[in-house]
Amino acid sequence: MRVFAPLALQIITVIAVIAMFALVWGPRSDDSDLHGREQGGVEYVAALNKLLPVLVDAQSTAVQGNPVAKDSFKEPLDAVAAVDEKFGSDFGTSNRWSGLRARIETLPEQGGEGLGAFKNFGEATDLLLALYQQVAQASGLRNDGDGVISYLQDAALEEIPAAIVWSGRYQDQVVITSALTPPDRNAPQETYNSQAAQISAAFTELAVSRQVASEAGGDVASDMAAAVDNSGSGTFSTTLLQSLDEFQRGIEALAPPGEVGLSTIPRVADVAKQRAAAQKAAVELDPLLLDELSSQIDDRKGSADTGRVMAIALLAIAILATVASLLFLLVSARRSRSETVEAPPAYEHGNLDYSGYPGGSQPPGGSHSMGADPYRDAGRDARRERVGVPR
């Protein structure tokens, strides 16, 4: 029983280690799989970033009444098609992307200008922004519990694309509003009211577009500040921070924070210049954010993989230790049995069983004879000498 006590202890230890392994392996495995999906999301968004500014620029071109070259969409459309082929089934984006691509490819053929072009292209950019959000959700980036990853993905996948789209819309609405006929007080009341309503609605839409662009730019700055606070290093690369500063200046020049209403229509040339600078800064910033986001994901994935390796090593060591202990105990038990010699039974008065003694049989001379005992024979001779009996 004492031999198997250490073995029982080893078995209990292995069971405990297996339980710990299950607790460690499950979350670590899930983390590693999640980070792999997140890297796929980063790759998908990088392709979307090639399409978005091309689509926004095409919208501005069409609103101004200029033709849009269909070939300008070919390269970015092919880039998105390639990543959707790779990740579309996992992210559930294939149907949405197929519909969006078909819509974009028909935009140059629809023609139109002004408000009509603005609506046609606006529907396509809305669908593209929705695709960004679906990728963020399906890849797990949006729900990542890590503070740095959470804030970086919000800036790169939501706020910057929104800033690009709404900056372009603001410029296009300035163009559309500038082409409206001012209310004529000498016109019939009905005509005057219609003209005034159009101008009022246009100013409202202008203010909304400028406000959304401004808020998106401000949210990028807030996200980056929060990411820095959650970062172990407390900062990011100088190139990234300089690009962020350039982006903030561009957005603030286009849409100054705090300005809600508009009293006059801005000059089209000024807004176009400001929008081009803001979009250029955004296009340069977003890849840097994605690189930083990818680096953060790699760090988390490396930690998860290390935890999985440690869990496997711990389990292997416990099993090997148990096997070694079992073999040691078995060898020790066998050796003990081979070396053990049974002692003869102790002599008791009246015990006639001599099987345990040398010879294994009763000595000659009767049932009580003790056999040839030299000490007993010497005593008998001495007694004979005392009584004069010859030996």
Tens digit of pLDDT for each residue in 66-82?
A: 999 989 999 999 999 99
Share of residues in the chain with pLDDT > 90 (%)? 49
Single-letter amino acid, residue 329:
L
pLDDT of residue 29: 47
pLDDT of residue 198: 85
What are the domain boundaries of the chain? 19-314
> What's the distance, CA 103 to chain centroid?
33
Inter-residue contact 183 to 199 (CB < 8 Å) = yes
Measure the CA–CA gap between 233 and 235, rounded to whole angstroms.
Answer: 6
Measure the CA–CA gap between 213 and 386, rounded to whole angstroms.
Answer: 138
Tens digit of pLDDT for each residue in 22-34?
A: 555 455 445 557 7
Band of residue 305 on the pLDDT scale cut at 50, 70, 90: low
Using only C-alpha atoms, the chain has a radius of gyration, in whole angstroms, of 45
Tens digit of pLDDT for each residue in 80-134?
A: 999 999 999 999 999 999 999 999 999 988 867 788 999 999 999 999 999 999 9
pLDDT of residue 376: 56
CA nearest to 62, candidates 167, 163, 206, 175: 175
Inter-residue contact 166 to 212 (CB < 8 Å) = yes
Cβ contacts of 382-388, under 8 Å, gap ≥ 24: none
Measure the CA–CA gap between 311 and 32, rounded to whole angstroms.
Answer: 14
pLDDT of residue 112: 75
Tokens 């609405």 correspond to 173
Q: What is the 3-state secondary structure (H, E, C) of 24-78?
A: HHHHHHHHHHHHHHHHHHHHHHHHHHHHHHHHHHHHHHHHCCCCCCHHHHHHHHH
CA nearest to 53, candidates 148, 125, 123, 144: 125
Measure the CA–CA gap between 25 and 306, rounded to whole angstroms.
Answer: 11
